[in-house]
Amino acid sequence: MEQGKARIEDIVEKTSHNVADIYRISQRGYIRKGYFADLVLIAKDEWTITNSDVIGKCGWTPYDGKKLHNKVELTMVNGNVAYENGTINDCHGKLLNFKR
């Protein structure tokens, strides 16, 4: 592992597993049978972000011109494709169930 670089396993643990565990969110945070499929597919693809890449009302980013080494290709919410290669699909989330 390069110094200052996070392993993908550590990122998944900190952003998915730990969040679901700490907040006791039922059926989230892991890829398991019976769990909701909330997934992000990231490609190792060097690219330069530009204002035209912004999907939002402001139309600009402070990262314009910055070279990145990974790119989100697909996002799934509850097993439905919410985002794919620059296109946002009509996808509705579900209420989270907290085990408290």
Taking the CB of residue 89, how many other CB atoms lie within 10 A of it? 11
Q: What tokens does 67 get?
A: 């070279």
From the list 15, 19, 11, 31, the residue with the least C-alpha distance to 79 is 31
pLDDT at 2: 60
d(CA 38, CA 91): 12
Q: What is residue 7's three-state secondary structure?
A: coil
Domain boundaries, the chain: 1-32, 37-86
pLDDT, the chain, mean: 91
Residue 2, both tokens: 């390069």
3-state SS, 13-41, equals HHHHHHHHHHCCECCCCCCCCCCCCCEEE
Distance CA 76, CA 83 (A): 7
Q: pLDDT for 5-34, tens place per residue?
A: 888 899 999 999 999 999 999 999 999 999
Strand partners, 47: 68
| Rounded percentage of the chain residues whose pLDDT exceeds 70 | 97
Residues 28-71 pLDDT 10s: 999 999 999 999 999 998 999 999 988 888 999 999 999 999 89
pLDDT at 4 over 90: no
Domain 37-86, CATH among 3.50.50.60, 2.30.40.10, 3.20.20.70, 3.80.10.10:
2.30.40.10
